[in-house]
Each structure stands twice: as C-alpha cells, then as structure tokens.
A and B are shown apart, each in its own frame.
Chain A
Amino acid sequence: MALQNLRGRVAWIFMDEDFDVDQIVGVKNIKIKDPVELGKLAMRAEDPEFADKVRPGDLLVGNHNFGYGHPHYPPMIGMRQLGIGGVIAESFSPGYWRGEIAMGFPQVACPGVLAAVSRWDEIEIDWADNTFHNHTTGKTLPIEPLSDGDRLMLEAGGLVGYLHARDKEEATK
C-alpha cells in the first residue's frame, strides 16, 4: 500500500528551534485525555480561532529539532482531532519523532522548509519522489526519505497496524 500524499494548507509555522510541543495545549492541560477538548485548546493561547480556521488535511511546519524536551502525546492528539495531517520540519527530536510515527502521524524532515512557506500556503508532500511542493509559490524541495520501518508504520496507520502487517508477512514465509 503506497502512502497517500499529504496535501493541505500551512495551518501554523512554529518558528522556535527546539520547540517543546507541550506548549501547543499548555503545560497545565497536559494531563487532559479527551481529544475534543485537546483540539479546542490547541494553539488557543496564540490564536483563539485556530480550531475554527483549520480544515482537515492542513499541515504544521516547524524549525530544527522540533519536539525537543519531554514531549507528551496530548498536543498532537488535539491536532489530529482538528484534522491536521502531519508535521513538516527542518529536523526533529528523535524521541518525539518515534512517538508520533508510532501513532501513525506523518512527520516529514525537509531542510529549508521554513524559508519556503507562509501561513496558509497550499503545500504537498509527494512520498513517491520524496519532494515538498508549495503550490502557492511554486517552490519545490527534496525531503529526507523515510526509513523502511517508519514508512511501513505510517502505511499501516501506526504501530499496532504495522505489527499486524508483520504477522501476515511472517505467516506467508
């Protein structure tokens, strides 16, 4: 099964390097589990209408080492609840990356992306040729290819699906 391209608008650009994702919902809300509530809280401190503006498929853009610190899962549970389709960043903190890939949430390392987008640009990730396209500006950049393991995990929708796929593969051997 091929991975479906990500296509949507840039819903937010995180300018900070080493961005701590807990700030998306705020540290005081980090123990909330309800996705709907988390969705409403996402970015509210920065843009009170964020949840209303986001459309399914929209994407987030980040700087270097996105997810540094002690990342928890609720912020991106909230983002997925709003329909956010993935995160494209200059580079990622490995722990954050691993956690979100296991959730089946696409993460894309794309050096140079920050300078290539403005908020609400229409962008696309083409997995077949590993490129980033900004349809608003016409700009194209290469992305870092996923490892086989990460690609299989995203294709399977996350860790549990991936392990089931391995079950099937091993059964046919």
Chain B
Amino acid sequence: MGYTMAEKILARVSGQDAVRAGDEVLAKPDFVIAYDFPGYTDVIFKQMEEDFGIDKVAEPDRYALFIDHMVPATTTREEELHQLTRDWGAKNNVPVYERKGIGHQVAAELGYATPGAFVVHFDGHISQLGTFGTLAIGVRRHLLEAFVKERIKFKVPETTRIDLTGRLQPGVTARDVFHHIVRVLGPRGCRGHVMELGGDTIDNMSLEGRQSINCLAMFTGAITALMNPDEKALAYMKDRARLDIEPLFSDPDAPYAARHEIDVSKLEPIVVVPPSPADTRDLSEVAGTEVHVGYLGSCASGRVEDLEIAADVLEGHRVKDGFQLNVIPTSKEIMEIAAERGIITRLINAGAFISSSSCDYCFGRMGVMRAGQRAVSTGTLNVRGRMGSPDSEIYIVNAAAVAAAAIEGRITDPRPYLKR
C-alpha cells in the first residue's frame, strides 16, 4: 500500500523511512512562520528568553516573520509591537517582511511554499501553501515549541481525498467551490484530517484559485489542505523555492480515510450566511438583501483574478452612492500586476476605495461596521463581530458578487453583469 503526501513529508522531516497516520513523530519544520500579533509573537519572544533562556534561534533561515496585521499602525502600541518584531528579527538574523502583503500569500511568493516542505505557523490559513505541495499547519500556541525546540511533537494526520469534477460556469469561482465543499461534506467533513484535493476542476484551475480554496480548509474541520504539485505549481516555484528538496506526491494507492467526488459543473454563485462559516446557500436564496459595505480582499481572495472579475462586473457601472466598497489586493506583487494590467484604474474609476495590502479589513480593525450594517465580503470569516459591531452582519460571497452588490446596494447574482 502506498503513502499519502502528508505521510511522506512527515517521514522525511522526522528522519524516518516511513510513517503512517496515527504515528506520533518528532518533526523538524523546514520553516517556522508567524506574523506579529499581541499575545503570540511578543509572548513567544518573552517566553523564549525568560522561561527557556534562549537568546537566539539556532537556524535563523528556518524562521520568517511578517508584519501584515495593524499595517499601517494607528496607535503607538501597535508600532511598538512592530518595533519589537523588527528588533527581535535583527538580533536573531531572522527576516522580517513588512508591507509586502498578507504573509500567507507572500510566503508563497518568497518560496517558503517549497514543494515537499513542512511549515508551521500559529494561524491556520497558512494551509494555502498546500497549493504547492507544502504541508503547512496552523498549530496555534504550540508554535512556541518550534521556537524553543528543533523538533515538534506531531501526530501524523489521516487524509480525506476530494476529487472535484466539471467545468465551472462563468461567474462561479474557486471561492464558491470551497464553500460548496463545506455544504456537501459539512463543517466536520474532514475533521482532524488533511483535505487533499484533486480532479479535473483543480487541474484546470489557476494557482490563485487553488490558494483560495486551500486557505479555508479549516472550515471543513481539516487541519490543512494539500494538492499534488502539478506542472503549474512546480513552474511557479521553480525559481522561488528556498529549499532544494524533491517534491512529494500521494501514491495512487495511498490509504485515504475517505474519498469524495463532487461535481461542480452546475454550481451557482454561493453565499455563506451569517453568523456561521458553515451555512452555505445558493446566492439566489438571499438575493435582494440590502447591503452597505463590500470588502474584496483577504488571504483567501483578493488576488489578480478576483480583482479582474470585479473590474469586469463594474465595467460601465458605478458603485452605488453611499455604498462602501473597499478593495485590498492580497499582496504588493499582486497589486503591481493589477496596476500594470489597468485593473486598479478600472476599479478606481468605478468608485472603489483601494488600499495597499493589509490584513486589517478582514478582522474589523479597518472598514469597521456599526450595528445594523451588512457587508458582502470575500474575507475569511462571517462570525458575529468579525468586522466591527456584533450586531453587524457579513455575507461571504465571491469577488464578482461583491462588485455586483456594490452596484445595486443589495445582494445580487453577478453573472448578468459578466454577459456582454
């Protein structure tokens, strides 16, 4: 019997010939990544020194820090936190990436998503590095272990395989596909497992779309997502990968805990209705709902194709008076590409408010809603209070549907705007 990618990667980083799901290993992460956030990095730095007497990390190239939340700072305390991070990075020779974009995206751009690598972060959305065949796990506070020990104790997870088949209709995006997976399998469909995706829909999908899906794996209960790296993924990483290691692939006879096949050819644009990230419905069910704010961005969405489809929807239209459309490209690199292609200009002309890349619109630090306001959003999450008042509401939709709602001030099917 063969092995899953997750098993192969964890065998390599734990120095064993083979491991199986359920085995507990001491694994050496190839990369340890974090963004600075109060209660995480500041506490880790303090604990390293005070509780463990560790002055410096042993292999600084294995670590990477991002400053992507609280950018730009709005209080002195935030700027002090950033300075602590910069100082710690300088002292440890650990790179600190600032104002480059949302770390989970920039980590791919900078080659931390080396195919076959094992990466840990405290934040679960790092799962999107699975697009490139990188096993990337959000371990929450356990990240401290990776800062004070070379190896972390880790239980080899089982893998649930999902094959997606069929061609997506125009106006239906990767974002709709992910939430449809949650609708079909439920919020614990992959609980505790690696969600491994494949099938012709994935084969034909852009890397950006795959990143969008893999980013959100946690809402199926999965601990991360993986895809066998294909030519597209390997080509992207060819000159970016930071490690010279062989990519790893699941064997055809790998032991999956479960296998599912989902046909997405008839899928329509979806909406995830507040306040649960699991309440996926067809957008048509809530069409007409008045909305006041639109957020296009986040580590899940906000890439070139998201910006482009929004510009296409808005072409020849204007954002409705009084509607707040905030567009935040996921990274500086993405913003540059979108600018070169004229997409940014088209969005500005239509009335979008565009900011440089930052995580801050996704978690209610910027673009905050008051009680009674309602947003359409491509952010990661729609739980109460995520974008401001606990009495505001967030409807998760794809980028095209954010743009369509911005024109009409109500949730609406974006597809008619794309037929020209």
Q: A69-B276, A147-B24 are in contact. Are A159 and B385 (CB under 8 A)?
A: no
Q: A94-B221, A95-B218 are in contact. Are A163 and B278 (CB under 8 A)?
A: no
Tell me the interface secondary structure of chain A in the complex.
Answer: helix
User: B139 touching A69 by the CB < 8 A rule?
Assistant: no
Q: Which residues of B contact A152 (CB under 8 A)?
A: 153
Interface presence of A65 (CB below 8 A): yes
Q: Determine the residue in chain A with the shortest Cβ distance to B224.
A: A94
Chain A residues 149-165 with CB under 8 Å of chain B are 149, 152, 159-160, 163-164
Q: Which residues of B contact A163 (CB under 8 A)?
A: 51-52, 144-145, 148-149
Q: Determine the residue in chain A with the shortest Cβ distance to B157.
A: A94
A98 to B121, CA, bound (A): 13
Binary contact track A53-68/B, C-beta < 8 Å → 1, others 0: 0000000000011001
Interface presence of A22 (CB below 8 A): yes
Binary contact track A15-36/B, C-beta < 8 Å → 1, others 0: 0001010100011101000000
Partner of A102, one of B140, B187, B385: B140
Task: Please tell me the size bucket of the interface on A.
Answer: 20 to 34
**Total number of B residues with any Cβ neighbor in A under 8 Å:** 34
Interface presence of A91 (CB below 8 A): yes
Q: Which residues of B contact A27 (CB under 8 A)?
A: 383-385, 390
Interface presence of A52 (CB below 8 A): no
Chain A residues 133-153 with CB under 8 Å of chain B are 147-149, 152
User: B148 touching A22 by the CB < 8 A rule?
Assistant: no
Chain B residues 363-391 with CB under 8 Å of chain A are 381, 383-386, 390
Interface presence of B141 (CB below 8 A): yes
A93 to B223, CA, bound (A): 9
A152 to B386, CA, bound (A): 35
A41 to B155, CA, bound (A): 35
A74 to B393, CA, bound (A): 22
A158 to B339, CA, bound (A): 48
User: A149 touching B154 by the CB < 8 A rule?
Assistant: yes
Q: A20-B383, A98-B140, A99-B141 are in contact. Are A91 and B191 (CB under 8 A)?
A: yes
Interface presence of A119 (CB below 8 A): no
CB-CB nearest 8 A-B residue pairs: A27-B385, A149-B153, A102-B141, A65-B188, A27-B390, A27-B384, A99-B140, A28-B390
Given contacts A30-B385, A70-B277, A95-B218, could you give 7 more A-B pairs where the C-beta distance is less than 8 Å?
Answer: A20-B275, A65-B188, A148-B153, A149-B24, A149-B154, A160-B144, A167-B52
Give the B-binding residues of A (Cβ under 8 A): 18, 20, 22, 26-28, 30, 64-65, 68-70, 91, 93-95, 98-99, 102-103, 147-149, 152, 159-160, 163-164, 166-167
Give the A-binding residues of B (Cβ under 8 A): 24, 47, 51-52, 124, 138-142, 144-145, 148-149, 153-155, 187-188, 191-192, 218, 221, 223, 275-278, 381, 383-386, 390
